[in-house]
Amino acid sequence: MAAHPEARILIAEDEPKLATLLCDYLAASGYAASWIADGRTVVSAVRADPPDLIVLDLMLPYRDGLDICRELRTFTVVPLIMLTARVDEIDRLLGLELGADDYICKPFSPREVVARVKAILRRTSARSVPGGTLGLSIDAVGHMASFDGRPLDLTPVEFRLLKTLAASPGRVFSRAQLLDNLYSDYRVVTDRTVDSHIKNLRRKLQRPGTDHELIESVYGVGYRFNRCP
């Protein structure tokens, strides 16, 4: 499967050698990569020209990556890979629930970064999802969704879950299949995590005056997305 070759990657990294190396490797894999060194300009660059994925260094001059990540997540669920120089920081980062999709520890091989970029974009690559007639609209490029004309306030995981389910109405997904689409492979999560995300998603997709469930549980199997009656 072609790995979203037209995707645009923004790299926020202040070490020119590293940034250039990453850009070169990403370009060689068919991505359009650009980079920013100044932490103060990342948010405005993303707002002005939203990329398909961001690789964000934690230690940037003038503004740190955590702070940038927090602000990005107030308006976009664009896939985000954080770079950190300390392996012991990863647990802390995961604990912060910042909404990054993946974390990579320095030093890393550029090949590893390209592989992670590919994996994440594969999960988020559907450019348009059927569902307009449902009152549900999913903008896979802008990473936004709305329901009956009102914007849905979804976490990145909820957004991906909804996109996966809505892309194949009627198909039953097992929890394991959904997990596969949600997280990077190495992360340990349980079935119950899926259930709790689904529960939140359903709450956000409630339509007043109807008990029709857009996301239906299939007993003993998993979940499926229903078209509206």
Give DSSP secondary structure letters for 129-149.
-S-GGGTEEEETTTTEEEETT
Q: Which among 53-61, 116-124, 141-149, 182-190 is the span making contact with Ca ion, rule CB under 5 A? A: 53-61
Q: What share of the chain is helix, strand, coil (3-state, %, to 5)?
A: 40, 20, 40
Least distance in Å: CB of 86 to Ca ion? 12
Choose, by CB under 5 A, the member of 52, 57, 102, 158 that binds Ca ion: 57
Q: Is 52 in the site for Ca ion (CB under 5 A)?
A: no
CB of 62 to Ca ion, least distance (A): 11
**CB of residue 14 to Ca ion, shortest distance in Å:** 5
158 binds Ca ion (CB under 5 A): no
Q: Which of 26/145 has CB closer to Ca ion? A: 26
> Whose Cβ is closer to Ca ion: residue 57's or residue 158's?
57
Report the half-sphere exposure of 165 (CA within 13 A, side-chain side).
31
- As measured in angstroms, the least distance from the Cβ of 59 to Ca ion is 4
The burial class, CB within 10 Å (0-12 / 13-18 / 19+), for 201 is buried
Is residue 59 a contact point for Ca ion (CB under 5 A)? yes
**Least spacing, CB of residue 219 vs Ca ion, in Å:** 50
Q: Which are the contacts of 77, defined by CB distance < 8 A and separation ≥ 6?
A: 99, 143, 144, 154, 155, 156, 159
Residue 205: helix, strand or coil by DSSP? Answer: coil
3-state SS record for 149-168? CEECCCCHHHHHHHHHHHHC
Please state the closest distance from residue 116 (CB atom) to Ca ion, in A.
18
Phi/psi zone of residue 44: left (φ > 0), alpha (ψ -120 to 50 degrees), beta?
alpha
Q: How far is residue 76's CA from residue 48's CA, in Å, rounded to a whole number? A: 12
Which string of x and - marks every residue 10-39 that binds Ca ion (by CB under 5 A)? ----x-------------------------
Task: Give whichever of 14 and 216 is closer to Ca ion, judged by the CB atom.
Answer: 14
- Min dist. Cβ of residue 64 to Ca ion (A): 9
Structure tokens at 162: 């909804």
Is it true that the peptide bond before 107 is cis, omega within 30 degrees of 0? yes
Stretch that binds Ca ion, among 49-57, 63-71, 146-154, 168-176 (CB under 5 A): 49-57
By beta-carbon proximity to Ca ion, the closer residue of 57 and 101 is 57
Q: Which of 197, 160, 167, 154 is nearest to 181 (CA)?
A: 160
- Residues in contact with Ca ion by CB under 5 A are 14, 57, 59
